[in-house]
């Protein structure tokens, strides 16, 4: 079965997405998400100029060989752009293979290990009452796990607080906005927020919080220790993860579970974190970590060290990626939780899919392949519209980690 066409479809139904579509000589097609928030066109160019021409004529069944061909053949290895491009090809080939086998993708990955994929929703607000209302809404919808984020008094903006209670898209149209940050104000306030949520709703649901790379290791250690009393499911991205050994300092001080990895793009980004058991969950995603083929390698390494999967699933990962994550998550043994930020209705129209939410879980469809399609005519009506993630600055103007 030969690849006869490889094209990248860029669209912007509420936000920008890049999608690779492969077509074989037997007429089967496969989709792969190639979206890299704020740098979408870099991946598009990488695919269009340096990958798609190499795919024409290749055997679509040779997934592992194609992965190695694109990874080793580039010479310049790793990085978010390269690995998102490889991920798109890999995901599309798995989609095609499952379709040619006439089975949903998860069956090719070893079949079900569980009935459904437990997810967490995103509760946020500008103050504690708003956050509490948002948490209550998610629990009322049957979510078993809720991430809690809140605006910080005295700061003009905060990570994770959407314009409305449910939908959160951090990338803004046009050039990057600048947001202010104060670790001191954050550290004083966020324990009060999380404590208030536990006081109101108790401990019978999983509560998560995302620090979003903003603290130093000792600040993160201080926070994680203070938060032991609220029993988080995980504290996410407490520090930036380039310095993997930096997590040792956090780990020494606390039993709060740690998650990181949504910005990772290869197993080498997380090898030390996993092998030293410095984390409890790895957040690597299908779209940014070389696709299903490479994510399975990370999962198998993680399993040896009691680390569970908690794949990234924000709205800037398209329904194609989310579908792949659900097929992966329902099958992989060391599954932990799946992030679920529902896409907009318009996005779901552009990407019709068979996965569904019920009772705090996501379920893949039973259609052959990923169970996602792309309505190209509708997609064409929403062309790319430049949008960037914010830049963060401390109160004294120093650039910080957003």
Residues binding Mg ion: number (CB under 5 A)? 2
| 40 binding ligand CS2? (CB under 6 A) | no
Please tell me the distance from the alpha carbon of residue 402 to that of residue 394, in angstroms, as a whole number: 10
Please pick, among 46, 106, 159, 355, the residue that the annotation labels catalytic.
159
Using CB under 5 A as the binding rule, the residues of this chain from 259 to 288 that contact Mg ion are: 262
Please give the residues from 368 up to 387 whose contact with Mg ion meets the rule CB under 5 A: none
Q: Which residue lies nearer to Mg ion by CB, 208 or 302?
A: 208
Which DSSP state fits 114?
Answer: S
Residue 236: Cβ within 10 Å count: 25
Contact 80, 39 (CB under 8 A): yes
Nearest distance in Å: CB 353, ligand CS2? 19
Q: Give the Cα separation of 345 and 151 in Å (integer).
A: 26
In angstroms, what is the minimal distance from the CB of 359 to Mg ion? 24
Among residues 180, 143, 130, which one has the least CA distance to residue 159? 180
Distance between CA atoms of 89 and 93, rounded to whole angstroms?
6
In DSSP notation, 54-109 reads HHTTSBTT-HHHHHHHHHHHTSS--SHHHHHHHHHHHHHHHHHHHHHTTSBHHHHT
Among 212, 213, 294, 353, the active-site one is: 212
Q: Does 180 bind Mg ion (CB under 5 A)?
A: no
Q: Could you say whether residue 6 binds ligand CS2 (CB under 6 A)?
A: no
Question: Under the criterion CB under 6 A, does residue 212 sit at the interface with ligand CS2?
Answer: yes
Residues 251-270 that bind ligand CS2 (CB under 6 A): 262
Q: Are 15 and 171 in contact (CB under 8 A)?
A: yes
269 touches, from Mg ion, ligand CS2, none (C-beta below 5 to 8 Å by class) = none
Q: Which of residues 283-312 bind ligand CS2 (CB under 6 A)?
A: 312
Shortest distance (Å) from residue 68 CB to ligand CS2: 28
**Closer Cβ to Mg ion, 58 or 122, answer by number:** 122
Please report the sign of the dihedral spanned by the C-alpha atoms of residue 85, residue 91, residue 92, residue 93: positive
Task: For the chain, state the CA radius of gyration.
Answer: 20
Which is closer to ligand CS2, CB of 37 or CB of 392? Answer: 37
Shortest distance, position 224 Cβ to Mg ion, whole Å = 16
Q: How many residues bind ligand CS2 (CB under 6 A)?
A: 10
- The Cβ of residue 363 has, within 10 Å, a number of other Cβ atoms equal to 16
Structure tokens at 69: 């061909």
Instruction: Rule CB under 6 A: say whether 210 interacts with ligand CS2.
Output: yes
| Cα 278 from Cα 136, distance rounded (Å) | 32
| Nearest CB to ligand CS2, comparing residues 28 and 314 | 314
Contact between 316 and ligand CS2 per CB under 6 A: yes
Contact with ligand CS2 (CB under 6 A) among 12, 23, 35, 37:
37
- The phi and psi torsions of 329 (rounded to 5 degrees) equal -70, -30
Angle at Cα 269 formed by Cα 266 and Cα 273, nearest 5°? 130
DSSP β-bridge partners for residue 207: 146
159 catalytic per annotation: yes
Residues ≥6 apart with Cβ < 8 Å to 38: 171, 176, 387, 388, 389
Q: Please report how many Cα atoms fall inside a 13 Å half-sphere around the Cα of residue 359, on the Cβ side.
A: 4
Pseudo-torsion of CA 46, 47, 50, 56, nearest 10°? 180
Q: Which of 314, 325, 330, 372 binds ligand CS2 (CB under 6 A)?
A: 314
Q: Least distance (Å) from Mg ion to the CB of residue 52? A: 31
- Annotation says 253 is catalytic: no
Name which of residues 171 to 200 contact ligand CS2 (CB under 6 A).
Answer: none
User: Binders of Mg ion among 199-228, rule CB under 5 A?
Assistant: 210
| CA triple 152-158-164, angle to 5 deg | 105
* Site map 325..364 versus ligand CS2, x via CB under 6 A: --------------x-------------------------
Q: Which spans of this chain sit near ligand CS2 (rule: CB under 6 A)?
A: 37, 170, 210, 212, 262, 312, 314, 316, 339, 389
Binding residues for Mg ion, rule: CB under 5 A, are 210, 262
Residues assigned a catalytic role: 159, 212
């Amino acid at each position: 079965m030969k690849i006869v066409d490889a094209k990248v479809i860029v669209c912007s139904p509420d936000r920008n997405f890049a999608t690779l579509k492969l077509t074989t000589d037997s007429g089967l097609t496969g989709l792969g998400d190639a979206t890299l928030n704020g740098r979408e066109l870099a991946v598009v160019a990488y695919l269009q100029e340096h990958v798609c021409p190499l795919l024409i004529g290749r055997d679509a069944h040779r997934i592992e060989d194609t992965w190695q061909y694109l990874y080793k053949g580039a010479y310049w290895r790793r990085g978010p752009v390269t690995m998102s491009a490889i991920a798109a090809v890999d995901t599309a080939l798995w989609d095609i293979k499952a379709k040619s086998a006439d089975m949903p993708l998860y069956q090719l990955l070893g079949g079900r290990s569980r009935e459904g994929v437990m997810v967490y929703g995103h509760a946020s607000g500008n103050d504690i009452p708003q956050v509490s209302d948002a948490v209550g809404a998610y629990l009322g919808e049957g979510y078993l796990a809720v991430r809690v984020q809140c605006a910080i008094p005295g700061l003009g903006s905060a990570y994770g607080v959407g314009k409305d209670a449910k939908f959160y898209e951090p990338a803004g149209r046009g050039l990057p906005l600048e947001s202010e940050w104060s670790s001191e104000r954050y550290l004083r306030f966020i324990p009060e927020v999380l404590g208030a949520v536990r006081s109101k709703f108790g401990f019978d649901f999983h509560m998560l919080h995302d620090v979003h790379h903003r603290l130093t290791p000792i600040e993160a250690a201080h926070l994680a220790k203070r938060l032991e009393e609220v029993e988080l499911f995980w504290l996410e991205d407490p520090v930036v993860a380039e310095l993997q050994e930096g997590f040792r300092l956090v780990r020494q001080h606390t039993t709060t579970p740690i998650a990181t990895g949504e910005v990772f793009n290869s197993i080498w980004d997380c090898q030390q974190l996993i092998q030293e058991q410095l984390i409890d969950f790895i957040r690597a995603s299908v779209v940014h970590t070389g696709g299903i083929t490479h994510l399975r390698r990370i999962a198998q390494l993680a399993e040896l060290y009691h680390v569970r999967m908690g794949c990234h699933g924000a709205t800037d990962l398209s329904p194609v990626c989310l579908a792949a994550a659900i097929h992966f998550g329902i099958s992989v043994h060391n599954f932990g939780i799946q992030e679920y930020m529902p896409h907009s209705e318009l996005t779901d129209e552009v990407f019709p899919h068979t996965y569904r939410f019920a009772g705090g879980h996501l379920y893949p469809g039973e259609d052959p392949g990923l169970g996602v399609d792309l309505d190209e005519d509708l997609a064409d009506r929403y062309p790319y519209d430049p949008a960037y993630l914010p830049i963060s600055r401390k109160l004294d103007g120093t650039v910080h980690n957003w």
